[in-house]
Structure 1
Amino acid sequence: MPTNPLSPGVWGVVATPFTASTMDVDEQSLANLVRHHRSIGVTGLTVLGVFGEAVRLSTAEKRAVLQVVVDAVDLPVVVGASSTSLAPVIEEIELAVEVTGDRLAGAMVQVNTPDPRLLASQLDTAHRATGAGLVVQDYPLVTGVSIGADALAEAVGEVGSVVGIKAEAPPTPPAIAKLAARTRAPVFGGLGGVGLLDELAAGSAGAMTGFSFPEGLVACVDAWRAGGYSAALEAYLRYLPLVNFEAQARIGLAVRKEALRRRGLLAAAAVRAPAPAMPPSLMEQLDRHLAAVDHVEK
């Protein structure tokens, strides 16, 4: 199994679609969504992350999601492990290895302790048990665990199997600057792309996040590579109002799924409880944002 550092660029974070009537996994919409990502030139896909509602899926559903993705496209995948405890994390990684095989670019695991030595030990144990390269996700909003960038760099530096870092502990730019300087693992920003320009300036390798127009993320990262800040700003500016709109606390997932539905990429915008649905009062404003982006896309 490959344990090479993740390639730079955009690793599109994939939503898990559900049917409106039964809330079952909508495999056809999922296949449509990942094919769209492939068509716009993403580097790879991130599946079963927070945006993929992995914590609300059964093991059988996780297996089905992974199978649909690897059958639909030939892209490398990062697969999230939703637990923060070592034993179930290993089980989740084993499932990813079983289904995706050599398509697995990395298993994404959460920082679950502020102690760098303990974190390094747990990462090493997970790798030795599964053989998978690891993407370390620092996302205290979800886990409730905060670790400083220096401590995270120390932990990652002790584990040769870390193939990437996903930095989502605000403020992300200074954290990314430290991590990029002190580790050999590529560092990716998340949080819906709100800080993408500043994260690229700080040394990130790209984006690993969900957005209803992932082509905007690709355009920004490609422009940064070709022409630096000015080119990236020009490419990304048109998308920023929608990026900001989708970043609303608590309802961001529902907003993004509704946007994907209106783009024709999902059949329904359903989210599983306890995630709240999108407020009807915001539908008109979403239409305005989508119309503005659609206009510049055409």
Structure 2
Amino acid sequence: MLNNAKGVYIVAQTPFDERGNVDLDSIDTLVDFYRGHGANGFTVLGVSGEAGKLSAEEARQVAERYIKCAGDLPVVIGVSNPSLAQLSAFSREAMDLGAAGVMIAPPAGLQTDEDLLGYFGEVFRRIEGTPTVLQDFPFASKVAMSVPLIHQLIERHQEIQLIKEEDLPCLNKISRLREGNGRRVAILTGNNAMYLPLELQRGADGPMAGFSYPEMLTQVYGLHQAGKFEEADDLFDIYLPLLRYEAMGFWGVCARKEVMRRRGAIRHATMRTPGPKLSEKDLHEIDRLVARLETRLGR
């Protein structure tokens, strides 16, 4: 059950070959890479997974391959779509493939609590009983959800089992969500794990984020669970320059793919058009950041 989710749910990339075709074989190596670094689950076809650039058939193929490769690890499939018909159809398809649940963010244009309550009422009428991650990411969705509204949605809809909390500022919002007296749901955090140690201190159950060194996410989480808070902070600080570099929107995802290509996780660092391409200066910066990181880890 997603309401008991803890640990690191990796926001997985969608790999493409040099021509921009979906590279299904690289999903196999990518899952092995993430699993080898301690992933507890996966989130597929999110914003940084370039879901909006895939056809419906490609999205199904990517979801199916990740679910198959993940084996016993839970896989959450992003199904957000302005079309409720497409959202509900893909949700059913994802669950039939073996997904642990779906992730939904509200579509742009919803402005009031009444709008949001009505929207999610219709969503869960169509996908009744489907375990759901409610994604609170106003930067991408352009929709703000208040803490009282989220509490109300949780109480109205048993389908909501996990909140992906990545509003900014995130820390007080996590605290306020945890202070609610209603049904407990899991809280995993996004924003590229930029604030992970602080978010864990506020009551988050782990990150739902992507990073080219996923072992940092699992090690920081493990240290925090062991009560070794200073050690968790010290380790996080070592990775912070590269983590920050990868936090620059789709350009940062492009940099992340390049680092993962170098680490053997995927064959190509391609972003599907429209998407950024790294310059020689960018590649030089990545060289330097990775070299400095490896040096500090070696010490």
TM-score by length of 2: 0.91
- SS of the aligned residue for 2:179 comes to helix
Counterpart among 66, 71, 88 of residue 69 in structure 1: 66
- Hey, what does 1:232 align to over in structure 2? 232
Shift of 1:233: 0.6
Correspondence 1:189 to 2:189: yes
Which contiguous aligned blocks of 4+ residues in structure 1 show a shift greater than 6 angstroms?
Answer: none
Point out where structure 1 has 5 or more consecutive residues left out of the alignment: none
Shift of 1:121: 4.4
- Distance between the aligned counterparts of 1:111 and 1:156, measured in 2? 15
- Distance between the aligned counterparts of 1:297 and 1:6, measured in 2? 33
- SS of the aligned residue for 2:255 comes to helix
- Hey, what does 2:283 align to over in structure 1? 283
Correspondence 1:136 to 2:134: yes
- Distance between the aligned counterparts of 1:228 and 1:221, measured in 2? 10
- Distance between the aligned counterparts of 1:158 and 1:115, measured in 2? 17
- Distance between the aligned counterparts of 2:147 and 2:247, measured in 1? 23
Shift of 1:149: 2.5
**What letter matches 2:200 in structure 1?**
L
**Backbone CA RMSD of aligned residues:** 1.9
Counterpart among 149, 152, 156 of residue 150 in structure 2: 152
**What letter matches 2:90 in structure 1?**
E
Shift of 1:72: 1.6
**Structure 1 pair 58–249 and aligned structure 2 pair: CA distance change class (3 A):** closer
- Distance between the aligned counterparts of 2:286 and 2:10, measured in 1? 21
- SS of the aligned residue for 1:170 comes to coil
- SS of the aligned residue for 1:12 comes to strand
**What letter matches 2:41 in structure 1?**
G
- Distance between the aligned counterparts of 1:244 and 1:4, measured in 2? 29
Contact 1:223 1:235 in 2 (8 A): no
| Percent identity of equivalent pairs | 32
- Distance between the aligned counterparts of 1:178 and 1:279, measured in 2? 43
- Distance between the aligned counterparts of 2:206 and 2:77, measured in 1? 18
- Hey, what does 1:126 align to over in structure 2? 123
- Distance between the aligned counterparts of 1:4 and 1:67, measured in 2? 19
- Distance between the aligned counterparts of 1:215 and 1:263, measured in 2? 13
- Distance between the aligned counterparts of 2:295 and 2:170, measured in 1? 31
**Structure 1 pair 33–234 and aligned structure 2 pair: CA distance change class (3 A):** same
Contact 1:120 1:156 in 2 (8 A): no
Counterpart among 107, 110, 114 of residue 102 in structure 2: 107
Point out where structure 2 has 5 or more consecutive residues left out of the alignment: none
- Hey, what does 2:220 align to over in structure 1? 220
**What letter matches 1:291 in structure 2?**
A
Alignment of 1:239-250 (within 5 A): 239-250=239-250
- Hey, what does 2:271 align to over in structure 1? 271
Shift of 1:297: 5.2
Aligned length: 292
**Structure 1 pair 241–78 and aligned structure 2 pair: CA distance change class (3 A):** same
- Hey, what does 1:200 align to over in structure 2? 200
**1:48-102 CA distances to partner (integer Å, 9 max, x unpaired)?**
11111111111111111122112222111111013144332212212211222xx
- Distance between the aligned counterparts of 1:24 and 1:250, measured in 2? 18
Contact 1:115 1:151 in 2 (8 A): no
After TM superposition, the structure 1 stretch with the greater mean CA deviation from structure 2, 129-138 or 226-235, is 226-235
**Structure 1 pair 93–44 and aligned structure 2 pair: CA distance change class (3 A):** same
**1:142-183 CA distances to partner (integer Å, 9 max, x unpaired)?**
111122223222222321111100111111111111112225
